[in-house]
Chains A and B, each alone.
Chain A
Amino acid sequence: MSALEVRGVNKRFGGLQALNDVNLTVEEGRIHAIIGPNGAGKSTLLNCFVGRLTPDSGTVMFHGKSLLGIQPYEINQAGVSRVFQTPEIFSDLTVLENVMIPALAHRDGKFEFNALRPMRREKDIQKLAVDVLEDLGMPDKHDMIASSMSRGDKRRLEMAMGLVQDPKLLLLDEPTAGMSRADTNNTIEVLRHIGDSRGITMIIIEHDMHVVFSLADRISVLAQGTVIVEDQPENIKGNVKVQEAYLGGAQ
Chain B
Amino acid sequence: MLGLSRSDLLMLLFVLFLVAAAPILLNPFPEASRFAQFNAGYPDLMQRFVIFAIFAVGFNILFGLTGYLSFGHAAFLGAGSYAGVWMLKLLTINVLPAIIVSTLVAGVFSLIIGYISLRRSGIYFSILTLAFAQMSFALAASVLTPITGGETGLQTALNDPRILDGASSGTGNIPAPALFGLEMRDSIQIDFGGWLWTFNVGYYLSAFILLVAFYLSIRIFRSPFGMMLKAIKSNNQRLSYTGINPRPYTLAAFVISGMYAGLAGGLMVAMDPLAGAERMQWTASGEVVLMVILGGVGSLVGPVLGAGLIKYAENIFSKINESLLTQWFAFMPEGLTDFMVTIVSPFVGKGWHLSLGLMFMLVVTFLPGGLIGGVTGLFGRIFGRRSKAQGE
Contacts and interface: CB of A to CB of B under 8 A. Distances in A.
Interface of A: 50, 71-73, 76-77, 82, 84, 88-93, 97, 100-102, 104-106, 108-120, 122, 125, 161, 165
Contacts of A101: 227-228, 231, 239, 242, 244
Contacts of A100: 227
A102 B243 contact: yes
Interface of B: 3-5, 216, 219-220, 222-228, 230-231, 233-235, 237-245, 248-249, 252, 256
Nearest to A146: B234
Contacts of A113: 225, 252
10 contacts: A76-B240, A76-B241, A97-B231, A105-B244, A110-B243, A114-B223, A118-B3, A119-B222, A119-B226, A120-B5
A107 B219 CA distance: 21
Nearest to B249: A111
Q: Which 8 A-B pairs have the closest CB atoms?
A: A76-B243, A105-B243, A90-B234, A115-B225, A110-B245, A111-B248, A88-B238, A72-B240
A105 to B, nearest CB: 4
A115 B223 contact: yes
B247 to A, nearest CB: 8
B385 to A, nearest CB: 13
Contacts of B227: 93, 97, 100-101, 104, 119
A118 B222 contact: yes
Contacts of B235: 88-91
Contact of B224 (A71, A90, A92, A122): A122
A115 B219 contact: yes
The residue in A112, A122, A125, A165 that gathers the most chain B C-beta atoms within 10 A of its C-beta is A112
Q: B223, B238, B248 — which one has the most chain A CB atoms within 10 A of its CB?
A: B238
B337 to A, nearest CB: 51
Contacts of A120: 5, 222
A71 B252 contact: no
A198 B195 CA distance: 73
A84 B238 CA distance: 10
Given A110-B243, A120-B5, A104 B222 contact: no
B242 A117 contact: no
A108 B225 CA distance: 11
Nearest to B232: A90
Interface of B is mostly: helix
Given A72-B240, A115-B223, A104 B234 contact: no
Contacts of B225: 112-115, 117
Nearest to A79: B243
A105 B242 contact: yes
A71 B258 CA distance: 28
Contacts of A118: 3-5, 219, 222-223
Contacts of A50: 241
Nearest to A120: B5
A185 B225 CA distance: 37
Contacts of A122: 224
B238 A90 contact: yes
A84 B248 CA distance: 25
A92 B242 contact: no
B223 A71 contact: no
Nearest to A105: B243
A93 B231 contact: yes
Contacts of B228: 101, 104
From A101, A106, A119, A125, name the one whose CB has the most chain B CB atoms within 10 angstroms. A101
B219 A76 contact: no
Nearest to B233: A92
Given A100-B227, A122-B224, A71 B234 contact: no
A116 B243 contact: no
A91 B242 CA distance: 15
A67 to B, nearest CB: 13
A106 B244 CA distance: 9
B111 to A, nearest CB: 14
Contact of B242 (A97, A111, A119, A161): A161
Contacts of A71: 240, 245
Contacts of A91: 234-235
